[in-house]
Structure 1
């Protein structure tokens, strides 16, 4: 169903890919948008146990697209160092494929928001809880259930591992 990576030597392990997702703070969600045009939007995210969580307003292009077609893709770039003298970049990235849905259960929504807030503001528990209380009724949570994950890095980074 999903393509195998062509350059197998550059493929990241599941553990390395997961580490990229845990470390990252933003990525690009791609959906099938209006008039069947691709719509790719940069977002903050939370990755946990094979699922990616996004928060958004209760209306908008992204939400409409996910509701109309659950198939999505999400990309996180961990490293992108341009090396001009070698005409290349030393990159590391992860791409996910899966199906997205709107989280309806209020308890699960609150838990997701608490984990989001903890990731992005780890030292201010009181502030996090206050912000969640203020925004929870106007916030939608989209969950992407990951079906396929690939990670890849520049061949130069692969070679560095074996030195």
Structure 2
């Protein structure tokens, strides 16, 4: 990371950023080239391992690409706010973000699939939901097991001055 002053290293702060984010962009590649898709997600962090959960239609370019190549990158961001200045070049933006890479694993086991859907819904809504096999069978569920991820933030300042 070039801007070490903006790096977030503490795992609790990283998880707070993930908690605030509701959309994760997944970058992948298929025979047609690079492809990025914004998706709602849920997550678990256990045993020093970040796992992101997603649900999707069972077919389409995204699913084909992920089956062809399970290596992906991901990005999420939140807390956006414009920082103004007296001149155009003094304007900037405050934010918090997570960027990482990992491998996609498709989930076929009904119990794991229902758990993943529950985690996703809890993250998106703050509420607990239960799923039966019929509901879980309607969608494709997959997870990204993160191989690495980093966090970055630029705090909000009322006015930014370039020296």
TM-score (norm 1): 0.81
In structure 1, the residue matched to 2:105 is 101
5+ residue gaps in structure 1?
158-163
5+ residue gaps in structure 2?
158-163
- 1:81 to partner: Cα distance: 1.2
1:24 aligns with 2:28: no
- Root mean square deviation, CA, Å: 1.9
CA distance in 2, matches of 1:84, 1:30: 31
User: Do the aligned partners of 1:9 and 1:155 also contact (CA within 8 Å) in 2?
Assistant: no
Runs of 4+ in 1 over 6 A off after TM superposition: none
CA distance in 1, matches of 2:38, 2:57: 15
CA distance in 1, matches of 2:156, 2:83: 11
Q: Cα gap change, 1:53/1:152 in structure 2, threshold over 3 Å: closer, same or farther? A: same
In structure 1, the residue matched to 2:41 is 45
Q: Render the CA deviation track for 1:62-102: whole Å, top value 9, x for unaligned.
A: 11111111111111112221223232111211112111111
Larger helix fraction of residues: 1
In structure 2, the residue matched to 1:113 is 117
User: Do the aligned partners of 2:23 and 2:38 also contact (CA within 8 Å) in 1?
Assistant: yes
CA distance in 1, matches of 2:44, 2:110: 18
Kindly tell me the number of residue pairs found equivalent between the two proteins: 147
- 1:23 to partner: Cα distance: 2.4
- 1:122 to partner: Cα distance: 3.8
Q: Cα gap change, 1:156/1:23 in structure 2, threshold over 3 Å: closer, same or farther? A: closer
CA distance in 2, matches of 1:120, 1:7: 31
User: Do the aligned partners of 2:55 and 2:142 also contact (CA within 8 Å) in 1?
Assistant: yes
User: Do the aligned partners of 2:104 and 2:144 also contact (CA within 8 Å) in 1?
Assistant: yes
Q: Cα gap change, 1:82/1:103 in structure 2, threshold over 3 Å: closer, same or farther? A: same
SS in 2 for 1:113: helix
Of 47-56 and 132-141, the range deviating more from structure 2: 132-141
User: Do the aligned partners of 2:53 and 2:142 also contact (CA within 8 Å) in 1?
Assistant: yes
